[in-house]
Amino acid sequence: MLRRCFVLGCGSAAFGALPWARALAQAPADWKMPPRLQRPAADTDEGGLWAMMDREEQRTRRSGFLIRDKALQDYVNGIACKLAGDHCADIRVYIVQTPYFNAFMAPNGMMQVWSGLLVRMTSEAQLAAILGHEIGHYVQRHSIERLRDVKSKSAFGQFLGILLARAGGVGAIAQLALLAGALAYNRDQEREADRIGVELMAKAGYAPLEASRVWTKLLEELKAGAKEREEYWDQSVLFKTHPPGEEREKTLAQIAAAKGPGGRTGEQEYREALAQHRNEFLVDELKRRTFGETRVLLERMLAAFPDDGELQYFLGEAYRLRAQDKDLEHAVAAYRKSEAMKGTPAEMYRSMGLAQRQLGDDAQAGTAFARYLELKPTAPDGALIRSYIKRND
């Protein structure tokens, strides 16, 4: 399938000393990048799939969800080109503003990277791990193999309808999940792409261990989110065909260890590349309303940048919007911490006032609202906030 495993929601199972896992981790570095792919004849099944993806690419280019930031686009494209080698000329990366952890590679060279993935990475090397994985699928022509494996024409027709209706870049998540079992890459293909991704990372000078750290972070989020929803976090319908998350994390770590220590991570460069968009990406993240996952994400980001007032504000928002048990008290505590930090947005005081108002502390709420209007006198919701202050007088 073309829309695939790097969506937040991968399943997991207990990892043991499985023979195939050891073989993957210990496999000799004998893989070589194949030559550039040639466009197939239009009257073949592969040619038809390329044409279909060409149409999808045109829709992506027109999409209102496409992030048209040349600096960010050039940065991500640059990483992809370091990994792809001679295939660089054939790969086109599109950054889509969608708050889910996802990237996919089409057989015609189109790659989509979603903003929910970007906000979760903490280094250039981690992004390289994912891009390398996708390039692995592309050069090994896995999507063509999957197309030929599809036995039900009606299922493929459903997939086509969903794909072509997805012009905005966000929709049909649930429908795609239902089709994943029939159309997704199989586990061996995913494992092969993982190994190739690490190979490409190492050759490009990146730290291979960062690949496993991607999964370490995702597993933390998934477990927190499933616990909050009282679900079995390892039973995701979307990922029944993918290697279990814990297996993947540990196997990638073994592959990286075989490559030896060292390599570039590019943490500062990555942070700078995303700085302009981080706020909007985190606003979108809150809209997913998976607050357990979001809280783990923000706490991890704060561990790396403990004096970041904007991150502390968003942590408060995750508590306030969930509003269960002692969440409002936790939200106010987070807002209080953010007051003394750099980068705290004026909206923090509005949110603090709303939380205090819900807690029945009208006096403190009025003070917070007044500070918000002082910092942002032309706020579009200013009239509403003034009405709250007036009611408290």
> Quick one: which of 101, 99, 103 has its CA closest to 91?
103
Is the model more confident about 52 or about 361? 361
Residue 169 pLDDT: 40
Asked whether residue 380 is assigned to any structural domain, the reply reads yes
220-252 residue pLDDT tens: 888 887 766 655 444 443 444 455 667 788 888
Q: How far is residue 240's CA from residue 11's CA, in Å, rounded to a whole number?
A: 7
Helix H or strand E encompassing 105? strand 103-105
> Which of 211, 232, 259 marks a domain boundary?
259
Is the model more confident about 90 or about 226? 90
Q: Indicate whether 194 and 329 sit together in one domain.
A: no
Say which residues have a Cβ less than 8 Å from residue 22's Cβ, sequence separation at least 6.
Answer: none
Q: Indicate whether 95 and 228 sit together in one domain.
A: yes
* Coil/strand/helix, residue 140: coil
Q: Indicate whether 169 and 291 sit together in one domain.
A: no
Asked whether residue 269 is assigned to any structural domain, the reply reads no
Q: 310 near 301, Cβ under 8 Å?
A: no
CA geometry: angle 280, 286, 291, nearest 5 deg: 150
Asked whether residue 3 is assigned to any structural domain, the reply reads no
> Which of 259, 284, 301 marks a domain boundary?
259
* pLDDT, mean of residues 341-354: 97
Asked whether residue 34 is assigned to any structural domain, the reply reads yes
Q: 72 near 276, Cβ under 8 Å?
A: yes
Q: Indicate whether 194 and 306 sit together in one domain.
A: no
Q: How far is residue 49's CA from residue 158's CA, in Å, rounded to a whole number?
A: 15
247-299 residue pLDDT tens: 788 888 888 888 888 899 999 999 999 999 999 999 999 999 999 999 999 99
* pLDDT, mean of residues 194-199: 93
Asked whether residue 381 is assigned to any structural domain, the reply reads yes
Q: Indicate whether 49 and 193 sit together in one domain.
A: yes
117-161 residue pLDDT tens: 999 999 999 999 999 999 999 999 987 777 666 544 455 555 555
Q: 139 near 189, Cβ under 8 Å?
A: no
> Quick one: which of 319, 311, 308, 386 has its CA closest to 350?
386
Q: Indicate whether 170 and 87 sit together in one domain.
A: yes
Residue type (1 letter), 322: R
Per the structure, how many domains does the chain have?
2
Identify the CATH number of the domain in which residue 302 sits.
1.25.40.10
Residue type (1 letter), 106: A
Q: Indicate whether 310 and 237 sit together in one domain.
A: no
Q: Indicate whether 282 and 227 sit together in one domain.
A: no
Asked whether residue 78 is assigned to any structural domain, the reply reads yes
Q: 353 near 370, Cβ under 8 Å?
A: no
Q: Indicate whether 252 and 317 sit together in one domain.
A: no
Whether 164 has a pLDDT exceeding 70, the answer reads no
User: pLDDT > 90: what percent of the chain?
Assistant: 59
Asked whether residue 14 is assigned to any structural domain, the reply reads no
Q: How far is CA 124 from CA 89, 217, 308, in A?
A: 21, 15, 20
Q: Indicate whether 43 and 139 sit together in one domain.
A: yes
Residue 158: give the domain boundaries. Answer: 19-259
> Which of 203, 230, 259 marks a domain boundary?
259
Asked whether residue 198 is assigned to any structural domain, the reply reads yes
Predicted TM-score of the model (pTM): 0.83
Q: How far is residue 190's CA from residue 5's CA, in Å, rounded to a whole number?
A: 8
Q: How far is residue 105's CA from residue 197's CA, in Å, rounded to a whole number?
A: 13
Residue 267 pLDDT: 95
